[in-house]
Chains A and B, each alone.
Chain A
Amino acid sequence: MKKYLVFLEQRDGIVKNTSLELWHKLQELAALHHNIVVCGILVGGVNLQQLAAELFGKGVIYHAGDERLMLYNSAYYAQIVAELFQREAFQALFFADTILSRELAPKLSVLLHASLLSGTPIFDGAGVDCGSVRPVYSASAAVSFQPERSTRIYTVTSFLKSENTLSTRHIEFKALEPHCFFDVDNSFPFIRRVVMLEGVQDLTEAAIIVGGGRGVGSPEGFVLLEQLALLLGGVPGASRAVVDEGWRPHSEQIGQTGRMVTPLLYFACGISGSVQHLAGIGSATTIVAINSDPHAPIFDSADFGIIGDVSLVLPKLIAALQDFLKKK
C-alpha cells in the first residue's frame, strides 16, 4: 500500500483551487488503484463543512486548526507536516505549485530527507509515483527526473489528463494537535501583514488571460486589454518589455522571469513571442496572437492569429464579443 499526502493550502480560511484540483486528481488515481491511499493535510482554520461540500473522493484529511496557524509560518507549517508525514508513514507529499509551496517544499525535503521533484508527476502502472517531467532552458527542452530517495515530495504544476470523474464523497476529518512550540524564537520569520489586492484574480489561477506587449503602443493602450479581459472574465497580463518600461506592474509579468501561467485561453497582443515569454505560456491550451508583424515568432506558437495593429483590432474584437455574448 502506498500512502500519499496532499497539502491543502488555505488563505483566509479558503482552500485554494489549485489544491482542490490536485486533491481530486490524486483521488482519481486512488480510485483506479486500490493499493493507493490519498490523505490530506490542512493547516489553519477552515470551515470544514463548507470544504466537505466541495470535495470528492475517499480519505482522511488531517486538520491543524489552531488560530495561531492561520497565517503561514514556515517553521510551524514544516514541523506539523513533517510530524504527520513520518508518523503515518506516507510515501509521498504533494503540493500544488504556489509561492508557499516553493518555500515549504525545499525545507521539507531537507527535514524529511526526501527527493523533491516538480512539474508533472509520473505514475507507473500500479499508481506508484516514479518521478516528474518539466520544461527547462526556457522551455526549449523537457527533462524527466527520477527520485533517488524512498520518500518523495512533489510540487505539481500540471497533471496528465485523466478521464475519470469522481462520485464518492467519503471524507473523514481528523484534528491534529501540533506539538510545535508557539514561542517567540520559533516564530521568526513571521508574517506581520498580508495585503490582498481587491477583487484581483491571480494570474496563475486564471483561465483566461489577455497579455500585452510593446505592440500595445502605450500604457493607455492597455485599457482596451483590461476591457477585453473583463468581458471574458479573465485577467490582464504583460510581457517583460512593458513591465520594464513601467507600463504594467511586475505582478502581471508572464515569462521566464515572471509568472508561469496555465490558462485555457491566452491572448498575446502586440507581443513578439520571445523564447522567455513563451516559456511562461507554454501550458496555455489555446493561444491567440494579435500582431502587426506577420513574421513575429509568436505566430509559430499560436493557434489563431490576426495580423494587425492591436489598437485597431481590439475594439472590433470587443464589439464582436459583446454581440456574441448578447446572443448567448
Chain B
Amino acid sequence: MDDLVVTGALGLIGFYLAAVLLLFAIYSVARLLYISLTAGDFGLALGVTVAILVAGSLYLAIGCWLHETDRI
C-alpha cells in the first residue's frame, strides 16, 4: 500500500482513538463528580471542580498564547 495512504490511515486511527479517550476522560470525571456529590463528599467535589477549571483554563491559555504569538 502507498506510504501516504498508510500514514493517513494511522493518523486517522490516532485521531479517532484520541477522540474516544477524550470522551472517556470526560465521562470518568463527570462520574467522579456525581459520585462525590451524591455521597456528600463536598471536599472531593470541590477538588474535582477546581481541577477541571484549572485544566480548562490552561488549555485555553495555551491556545490564546499560540494565537497571540502567531503560531496558529
B is a partner of A: no
Which chain B residues have a beta carbon within 8 Å of chain A's beta carbons? none
Question: Residues of A with Cβ closer than 8 Å to B?
Answer: none
